[in-house]
Amino acid sequence: MNFFEHYQIEKIHSADFDDKIIIPKGLVCVFLWGHNCPNCEISKNILVDRKSEVESLDIKWFHANIYEDFKLATRFGLFGIPVFLFFKEGKKLGKISPFPGFDPFFEAVQNLKNKINDVAE
């Protein structure tokens, strides 16, 4: 089973990007990747292997193959992939690129969620 089947992540396109990332509550992660990108495959495999921990983050995921949607690559000024973009209510909060390995990735996302929760309280 591949990454996208494992997580049932919804595909996002430049045409509907802004509408989809506006979710009233919670953190949104947009995973920008490319077909046959070795670094993307490594990150996907690691995230599948650590699925229970990733799911504990309780974030809404989207994905886009930027080789199929160059507008997204241009919009976010990408120089390499994979890229993980994080949004809250449509506002970009940050990005992770390149994939730093699971533990630093997980810790960064947890810290971002904690900051969001602190502001909401």
15-67 per-position pLDDT tens digit: 999 999 998 888 999 999 999 999 999 999 999 999 999 999 999 999 999 99
Question: Which single residue is written with the structure tokens 């089947």?
Answer: 5
pLDDT tens readout for residues 55-94: 999 999 999 999 999 999 999 999 999 999 999 999 999 9
User: Over the range 16-26, which residues count as b (16 or more CB within 10 Å of their CB) and which as e?
Assistant: ebeebbeeeee
Other C-beta atoms lying within 10 Å of the C-beta of residue 112: 19
Give the pLDDT of residue 89. 92
pLDDT over 70 (residue 120): no
Question: Which residue ranges form the domains of the chain, and what is each CATH number?
Answer: 3-120 (3.40.30.10)
Rounded-to-integer distance, Cα 19 and Cα 102, Å: 29
Please give the DSSP secondary-structure letter assigned to residue 68. Answer: T
